[in-house]
Amino acid sequence: MSVVEETFDVVVIGAGHAGCEAGLACARLGLETIVFTVSMDSVAFMPCNPHIGGSSKGHLVREIDALGGQMGINIDKTYLQSKMLNTSKGPAVHSLRAQADKVMYALEMRRTLAETDHLTLRQGEVTDLIIEDGRITGVKMFSGAIYHCKAAILCTGTYLKARCLYGNVIEHTGPNGLKSANYLTQSLIDHGVEMQRYKTGTPARIDRKSIDFSKMEPQYGDQRVVPFSFTTDPDSIQKEQVPCYLTYTNEETHDIIRAHLDESPIYAGIIEGTGPRYCPSIEDKVVKFSDKQRHQLFVEPESAFSDEMYISGMSSSMPEAVQYEMYHTVPGLENCKITRNAYAIEYDCIKANQLYPTLEFKNIHGLFSGGQFNGSSGYEEAACQGLIAGINAAMEVLGREQIVLDRSQAYIGVLIDDLVTKENREPYRMMTSRAEYRLLLRQDNADLRLSKIGHEVGLISDERYEKLLEKERMIEEEIQRVKTVNIGANEPVQKFLEAHNSIPLKKGMKLAELVRRPELNYQMLADIDPTRPELPEDVQEQVDINIKYEGYIERQIKQIADFKKLEDKKIPEGIDYDDVSSLRLEAQQKLKALRPISIGQASRISGVSPADISVLLVYLEQGKYLK
C-alpha cells in the first residue's frame, strides 16, 4: 500500500500557543513549515482562563512581541478588557493583563497562520519520530503518512496520553473533550526521552444568564488601554470594555468541599500527576489554608459569542453533583447553571533538563520542544518557548548560530534557564520573583532589550529596527540633558513645588534631582523645564524610570556584569567530567547528567558548590579537554 510522503524543512507538532509561535517563526524565516494539530478547529485554543498576561506573564508577551512573535498582536486585536496591574508599585512590576475573546483569539491566530507564506496547517496525529544517527529526519502519522524534515518542534501541550477527571468520571481526552494523542509518548521513550506526568485543572464555566451580578462587585478595565504589541497604535484599539466580577467563597462552600473531599480524585489518590501549587484547586485551598474564611473569585467573560463565564479561583475535580452544590453557595451563583464542568487533566511531558537552553534535545539533533510539553504552564510561558524553539529550529536548518537568551536579558531567559537547569517538580509558572535582574527586565523596555536580537534573527523588519534605534538615541540624549539642566530657585519653580507638596529649593538644582523626588516625576516637571524637547510618550517614560531609579538600576547593571563573566565562560561539549578528579562526587554526577553549556549554568545546578565551580574553571583553563 502506498503512503503519503512529503518533505518540509520544519515539522511543528501541535498548534497551541507554543506551536503557533514556532510555526510562524520558521515560516517567516522562509522555511517550508508544516504545523500538525489534532483538530483544525482548536488552533490557538485557550482551554483554561480567558486572559492573556498578568504579573510577569505580561512581561513575557511583551518580550515575545519584541522578538517578532504573534501573541501580543493577536490579543490586541481580540481583547474584551485590559488593565495594567501594579501601577502603584515600581515600574519593574507593572504588568499588562487583558481579557481575551477566546473565540476571536483563536480565529484571529488561525487566520494569521493561514495568511503566512511557507506555512501549512494540517490535521493529523503524529505517532512516531523518525530518528537516524541521533538526528531527527521526519515524523510518521497515525494514517501511516511520512513527513520528512530537517528539524521538528514538539509542542504537544496537555494532549499526550491526556485524561480528564472529575469525581470518579475519567474521560480519556485532551482538554475540553478534544482528542488526545496517545502514541507519541511511546516513541519518545523508545528514543531515550525521559517522560513524566503532570496535572492541572480548570474551573466550571457558567451561563451568564443564570448569574445574579448584583451580588458581585464589577471590575473594569483601564480608562485608556495600553497595547501589548509595540507595533499596535494605541488609538486603534480603544473600545467599549466588558467588566469582570468579583465574589467570594464562604464557610458553607468550604464545608461542602470538606464533606466531599474523599470524592475528589486527587484526595482519593486516583490522580498520579503532579499539580502546580500556584493554581491550586479550591479543594487544595480549603485544605491547605484552612484558616481562611473566604477565597476570592473572579468571574470573567469568555467571549462575545457565548454566554459562558469563567469562575477564576475555583478550579476543581469534584463530582459533577458536588460542583453544583458548591458553586451554588457563592453569592451571585445561587441559581447558576454550569455549561462545562470543572475538571483536572493529566498529561505526559518531559523533564526539561534533557534540553539545551536553545530548547534543542541534547541527545537528538534537530529536535526541539516548547510549552507545556517542557513542563511549564500557561499560554504565555508556552508561546515564548514556542518562539525560541521555532527560531532555533530555523537557525539550525539555515546553518546559523542558535540563540540563547540569558537571565539578564529577558524573563524568557529566566524561564528557559529555570526549566532546563533546575529540578522542577510541578508545572512551571513565571513569576517576577524568579527574575533576579527584574529592575532591568521591565515590560516597558522589552523592545529596547530584545528587538536587536529579533532583527538579527530576521523576525523584526529593518524599518521597525530603525525606529528602535531612533528611540534609543532620543532616550540617551534626553537623559543627558536632564542630568545637566539646572533648575533655578525662582518663583515659578517654588510655586510649582509647593503645588505638588514638594520641598522648595534653597538654591539651584539639577533637573535629575527633582525627578528623583518620590512625589515628582519627569513628565510632571515639564511645567518648569522650558528647554525640554517634544518627545513621544514611551521615550518620556524611559527617561523618567532611568533617572528615578538610577541607583538601583546601576547596582543591577554591575551584578549583571559579574553574572555575564560566568555566563560567557563556555564549557566545551566533549568535556569528560570523570577526568576532573577534584570535583565532589555529587557535582560530578550532576554535571555529567545535565551537561551545562557554560560555567554560569553549571553554577546554578543544585548540588554544584562554588568550590566545584572554581575547580572547573581551573580545569578548563588547563585546556586538558583538548587532548
Partner 1 sequence: MESDTIVAISTAMSNAGIGIVRVSGDEAIRITNSIFQGCDLEKAESHTIHYGHIVVGNETVDEVLVMLMRAPRTYTREDVVEINCHGGVYVLQKVMEAVLSAGARPAEPGEFTKRAFLNGRIDLSQAESVMDLISSTNEYARKSSISQLNGALSKEIKALREKVLYEIAYIESALDDPEHISLDGYPEHLKEVVEPVISDIQKLIDSADDGSLLKNGINTAIVGKPNAGKSSLLNALAKKERAIVTDIPGTTRDTLEEQILIHGIHLNIIDTAGIRETEDVVESIGVKKSFEMMEHADFIIYVVDSSTPLDENDFAIMERIKDEKAVILLNKTDLTSVVTEDMIREHSSHKILPISAKNLTGLDALEEEIKHLFFHGDLRMNDEVYITNERHKYALVSSKKSLELVLRSIEDDMPEDFYSIDLMDAYKSLGDIIGESVEDDLVEEIFSKFCMGK
Which residues contact partner 1 by CB under 8 A? Answer: 48-49, 55-56, 85-86, 88-90, 92-93, 203, 276-280, 285, 288-289, 292, 295-296, 298, 312-313, 315, 422, 431-434, 436, 438-439, 518-519, 549, 552, 565, 569, 580-584, 606, 609-612, 614-615, 617-619, 621-624
Give min distance, CB of 422 to partner 1, in A. 7
Give min distance, CB of 460 to partner 1, in A. 30
- Of the pair 30, 90, the CB lying nearest partner 1 is at 90
- Of the pair 122, 434, the CB lying nearest partner 1 is at 434
Give min distance, CB of 400 to partner 1, in A. 29
Give min distance, CB of 426 to partner 1, in A. 9
| Distance of alpha carbon 34 from alpha carbon 220, whole angstroms | 41
| Distance of alpha carbon 451 from alpha carbon 313, whole angstroms | 36
Rounded to the nearest 10°, the torsion over CA 554, 596, 593, 132 is 140
Look up cell 514638594; give the residue.
Answer: 502
- Of the pair 23, 221, the CB lying nearest partner 1 is at 221
DSSP 360: B
- Of the pair 87, 143, the CB lying nearest partner 1 is at 87
| Distance of alpha carbon 200 from alpha carbon 426, whole angstroms | 10
| Distance of alpha carbon 484 from alpha carbon 615, whole angstroms | 48
| Distance of alpha carbon 410 from alpha carbon 406, whole angstroms | 7
Neighbours of 246 (CB within 10 A): 16
Give min distance, CB of 407 to partner 1, in A. 14
Contacts of 276 (CB under 8 A, 6+ apart): 200, 377, 426, 427, 429
- Of the pair 275, 319, the CB lying nearest partner 1 is at 275
Give min distance, CB of 622 to partner 1, in A. 4
- Of the pair 143, 614, the CB lying nearest partner 1 is at 614
- Of the pair 42, 588, the CB lying nearest partner 1 is at 588
Burial class from Cβ neighbours inside 10 Å (0-12, 13-18, 19+) for residue 176 reads: middle
Give min distance, CB of 556 to partner 1, in A. 8
| Distance of alpha carbon 613 from alpha carbon 599, whole angstroms | 7
**Which cell numbers in the block locate residue 194?**
525521559
- Which H or E run includes 453? helix 446-457
Nearest to 168 by CA among 321, 351, 355, 359: 321
- Which H or E run includes 244? strand 244-248
Give min distance, CB of 386 to partner 1, in A. 22
- Of the pair 238, 296, the CB lying nearest partner 1 is at 296
- Of the pair 464, 517, the CB lying nearest partner 1 is at 517
| Coil vs helix vs strand at 48 | coil
**Which cell numbers in the block locate residue 624?**
586538558
Name beta bridge partners: 218.
245
Cβ atoms of 116 and 24 within 8 Å: the answer is yes
- Of the pair 531, 581, the CB lying nearest partner 1 is at 581
One-letter amino acid for residue 232 of the chain: T
- Of the pair 312, 542, the CB lying nearest partner 1 is at 312
Give min distance, CB of 609 to partner 1, in A. 7
Total residues belonging to the chain? 627
Give min distance, CB of 595 to partner 1, in A. 20
Give min distance, CB of 612 to partner 1, in A. 8
Contacts of 558 (CB under 8 A, 6+ apart): none
Q: What is the DSSP string of 515-537?
A: HHSTT--TTGGGGG-TTPPP--H
| Distance of alpha carbon 51 from alpha carbon 37, whole angstroms | 22
- Of the pair 203, 454, the CB lying nearest partner 1 is at 203
DSSP 627: -
- Of the pair 26, 608, the CB lying nearest partner 1 is at 608
| Coil vs helix vs strand at 408 | coil
Look up cell 451580588; give the residue.
Answer: 215
Nearest to 252 by CA among 297, 210, 293: 293
Give min distance, CB of 89 to partner 1, in A. 4
- Of the pair 55, 137, the CB lying nearest partner 1 is at 55
Give min distance, CB of 6 to partner 1, in A. 41
Give min distance, CB of 409 to partner 1, in A. 19
Cβ atoms of 62 and 205 within 8 Å: the answer is no
**Which cell numbers in the block locate residue 91?**
515600574
- Of the pair 183, 213, the CB lying nearest partner 1 is at 213
Q: Please provide the distance, in angstroms rounded to a whole number, between the alpha carbons at the two ends of the chain.
A: 52
Mode of pairing for the β-strands spanning 135-141 and 79-85: unpaired
| Distance of alpha carbon 104 from alpha carbon 457, whole angstroms | 30
Give min distance, CB of 587 to partner 1, in A. 10
